[in-house]
């Protein structure tokens, strides 16, 4: 009997966990498709961008990760279009036939139609984004050392982070720590420059998805370490030198880091009725697209209103992607064994965000944690979530060095792939 051919589009949390759930089962043949040849741990991207971790600390090649699996293939390609009638997907380097197709594409940056923001702001979604951001920030600091124009220096060194979610909070907190413990020691000429770090958000709270206690603790900690938090401020434009808000206010800066929204890339070839808000694909409780018999979506790409605990859909977080992929693997196996399928039910393990040295917040089940204990929990959870022991050991070493020395040594400008248009 020929194995059931499963094609997975996307090698993030969902894609990798689905492969792991089906590996070495000869009833299936899995082909994983991704534009990159590696998996990366997105929650730690900002630490690559700020020079605390190397790219290799949070990434791992797919072919090495799944080396030795007899029922696995990898295809490095861009997804172009699905052809449901032919049970094929069109890729940038050919076509693949499937018996079952799984979309696990994740999200991409949402600029809400603001072309200037898209053109000039720095996104934070991929490894390329993180390396590019590190290059740009370091280049601007070097440029600031030689300018004699006080206003130009202030614009070069002022940073605006848009988006008060975990990424925005963690980035702005990291910048504040770096300014205190690293930057002024190596660039003493920046003292008194008037440069500031802003965290801006269109809502009235940071970490809107977390508890009120976490929101309040985070706000207080950010202000304490020198971050200027501006709430109820929605960015409407950025021309490379000025961030403009919906109330007419503005901030003069060359650097806007965009962590304010995500969307799902459009999936070409499926019916328009398959989509809901944010281009997410409508699925049933088994993660199957409502309009198709053999096409599925998991993680950020999917939207289901059939989980009684989450009638408004599941949050777009890593744990949803992991659990949905694991459940789908169980159901693929159950279908082959003529067993009943298991509807997906999300088990929310909680949320956490790191703010600064020894400061974090965590909402675990019904309990709230803050300060050092939450900081330690954040470190442990993120360390153990890395994909293998090599990554964990390398990351632990870098974290320990940074903690005890209050420094980091990865501030290299290496082959910048994006030159800011306003420089």
We report the CATH number of the domain holding residue 371 as: 3.50.50.100
In a domain, 227, yes or no: yes
Number of domains in the chain: 2
Residue 1: pLDDT band (50, 70, 90) is confident
Mark whether 132 and 272 lie in a shared domain.
no
Please tell me what DSSP assigns to residue 179: I
Is a pLDDT exceeding 80 seen at residue 408?
no
CB 221 within 8 A of CB 184: no
Distances in whole angstroms, Cα of residue 125 to Cα of each of 41, 43, 238, 265, 349: 11, 10, 19, 13, 23
Mark whether 377 and 324 lie in a shared domain.
no
Please tell me what DSSP assigns to residue 248: S
- Report the pLDDT value the prediction gives residue 261, as an integer from 0 to 100: 85
Dist CA 57 CA 423 (whole Å)? 31
In a domain, 29, yes or no: yes
Mark whether 132 and 228 lie in a shared domain.
yes
Tell which of 336, 364, 390 closes a domain. Answer: 336
Find the domain containing 369 and state its range.
115-261+353-405
CATH number at residue 22: 3.50.50.60
Mark whether 205 and 124 lie in a shared domain.
yes
Radius of gyration of the chain from its Cα atoms, rounded to whole angstroms:
22
In a domain, 64, yes or no: no
Please state, as a whole number, how many other Cβ atoms lie within 10 Å of the Cβ of residue 72: 20
Mark whether 83 and 29 lie in a shared domain.
yes
Task: Name 107's Cβ contacts closer than 8 Å, sequence gap at least 6.
Answer: 125, 262, 263, 264, 265, 300, 316
Residue 410: pLDDT band (50, 70, 90) is low
Mean pLDDT of 11-40: 96
Residue 419: pLDDT band (50, 70, 90) is low
Residue 181: pLDDT band (50, 70, 90) is confident
What is the dihedral sign for C-alpha 375, 381, 386, 389?
positive
Query: Mean pLDDT score of the chain, rounded to an integer?
Result: 93
Please state, as a whole number, how many other Cβ atoms lie within 10 Å of the Cβ of residue 55: 17
Tokens of 405: 């020395």
Q: Which helix (H) or strand (E) holds 15?
A: helix 13-22
Residue 144: pLDDT band (50, 70, 90) is very high
Distances in whole angstroms, Cα of residue 260 to Cα of each of 172, 188, 257, 295, 332: 13, 32, 9, 30, 36
In a domain, 364, yes or no: yes
Mean pLDDT of 364-393: 92
In a domain, 413, yes or no: no
What is the dihedral sign for C-alpha 415, 108, 420, 201?
negative
Mark whether 140 and 257 lie in a shared domain.
yes
Mark whether 279 and 230 lie in a shared domain.
no
Dist CA 398 CA 70 (whole Å)? 35
Is a pLDDT exceeding 80 seen at residue 21?
yes
Mean pLDDT of 134-142: 93
pLDDT per residue over 40-88, tens digit each?
Answer: 999 999 999 998 899 999 999 999 999 999 999 999 999 999 999 999 9
Q: Which residue has the higher pLDDT, 409 or 255?
A: 255
In a domain, 303, yes or no: yes
pLDDT per residue over 210-254, tens digit each?
Answer: 999 999 999 999 999 999 999 999 999 999 999 999 999 999 999
Residue 415: pLDDT band (50, 70, 90) is low
Mark whether 383 and 250 lie in a shared domain.
yes
Residue/partner pairs of 382-388 with CB below 8 Å, 24 or more apart: 382/41, 382/43, 382/44, 385/41, 385/43, 385/318, 386/41, 386/57, 386/58, 387/16, 387/39, 387/41, 387/60, 387/65, 388/60, 388/65
Q: Which residues are catalytic?
A: 170
Mark whether 132 and 195 lie in a shared domain.
yes
- Of 125, 82, 92, give the one whose Cα is nearest residue 266: 82
Tell which of 277, 303, 336 closes a domain. Answer: 336
- Report the pLDDT value the prediction gives residue 417, as an integer from 0 to 100: 52
CB 125 within 8 A of CB 258: no
Dist CA 351 CA 53 (whole Å)? 22
Is a pLDDT exceeding 80 seen at residue 420?
no
Residue 291: pLDDT band (50, 70, 90) is confident
- Report the pLDDT value the prediction gives residue 404, as an integer from 0 to 100: 82
Mark whether 304 and 175 lie in a shared domain.
no
- Report the pLDDT value the prediction gives residue 418, as an integer from 0 to 100: 54
- Report the pLDDT value the prediction gives residue 98, as an integer from 0 to 100: 98
- Report the pLDDT value the prediction gives residue 403, as an integer from 0 to 100: 83
Mark whether 296 and 392 lie in a shared domain.
no
The counts of H helices and E strands in the chain are: 12, 25
In a domain, 314, yes or no: yes
Is a pLDDT exceeding 90 seen at residue 35?
yes
Please tell me what DSSP assigns to residue 275: B
- For the chain, give the percent of residues with pLDDT over 90: 83
Mark whether 373 and 289 lie in a shared domain.
no
Task: Name 365's Cβ contacts closer than 8 Å, sequence gap at least 6.
Answer: 349, 350
Please tell me what DSSP assigns to residue 31: E
In a domain, 345, yes or no: no
Is a pLDDT exceeding 60 seen at residue 422?
no
């Amino acid at each position: 009997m020929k194995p059931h051919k499963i094609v997975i589009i996307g090698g993030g949390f969902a894609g990798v966990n689905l492969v792991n759930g089906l590996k070495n089962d000869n009833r299936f043949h899995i082909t994983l498709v991704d534009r990159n040849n590696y998996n990366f741990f997105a929650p730690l991207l900002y630490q690559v961008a700020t020079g605390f971790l190397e790219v290799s600390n949070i990434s791992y090649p797919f072919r090495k990760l799944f080396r030795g699996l007899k029922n696995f293939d990898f295809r490095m390609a861009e997804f172009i279009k699905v052809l449901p009638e032919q049970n094929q997907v069109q890729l940038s380097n050919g076509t693949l036939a499937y018996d079952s197709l799984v979309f696990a594409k994740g999200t991409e940056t949402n600029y809400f139609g603001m072309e200037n923001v898209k053109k000039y702001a720095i996104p934070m979604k991929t490894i390329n984004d993180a390396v590019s951001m590190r290059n740009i920030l370091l280049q601007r600091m070097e440029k600031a050392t030689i300018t004699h124009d006080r206003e130009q220096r202030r614009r070069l060194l002022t940073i605006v982070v848009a988006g008060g979610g975990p990424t925005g909070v963690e980035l702005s907190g990291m910048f504040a720590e770096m300014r205190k413990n690293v930057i002024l020691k190596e660039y003493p000429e920046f003292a008194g420059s008037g440069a500031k770090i802003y965290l801006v958000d269109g809502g009235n709270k940071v970490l809107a998805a977390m508890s009120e206690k976490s929101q309040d603790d985070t706000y207080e900690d950010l202000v304490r370490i020198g971050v200027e938090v501006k709430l109820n401020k929605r960015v409407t434009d950025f021309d490379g030198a000025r961030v403009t808000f919906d109330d007419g206010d503005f901030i003069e800066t060359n650097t806007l880091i965009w962590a304010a929204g995500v969307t799902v890339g459009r999936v070409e070839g499926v019916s328009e009725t398959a989509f809901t808000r944010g281009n997410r694909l409508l699925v049933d409780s088994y993660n199957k697209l409502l309009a198709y018999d053999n096409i599925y979506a998991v993680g950020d790409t999917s939207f289901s209103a059939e989980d009684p605990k989450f009638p408004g859909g599941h949050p777009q977080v890593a744990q949803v992607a992991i659990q949905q992929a694991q459940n789908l693997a169980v159901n693929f196996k159950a279908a082959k064994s003529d067993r009943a399928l298991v509807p997906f039910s999300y088990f929310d393990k909680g949320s956490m965000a790191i703010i600064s040295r020894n400061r974090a917040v965590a909402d675990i089940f019904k309990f709230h944690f803050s300060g050092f204990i939450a900081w330690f929990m954040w470190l442990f959870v993120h360390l153990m979530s890395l994909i293998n022991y090599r990554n964990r050991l390398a990351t632990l070493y870098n974290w320990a060095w940074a903690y005890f020395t209050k420094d980091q040594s990865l501030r290299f400008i290496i082959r910048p792939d994006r030159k800011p248009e306003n420089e």
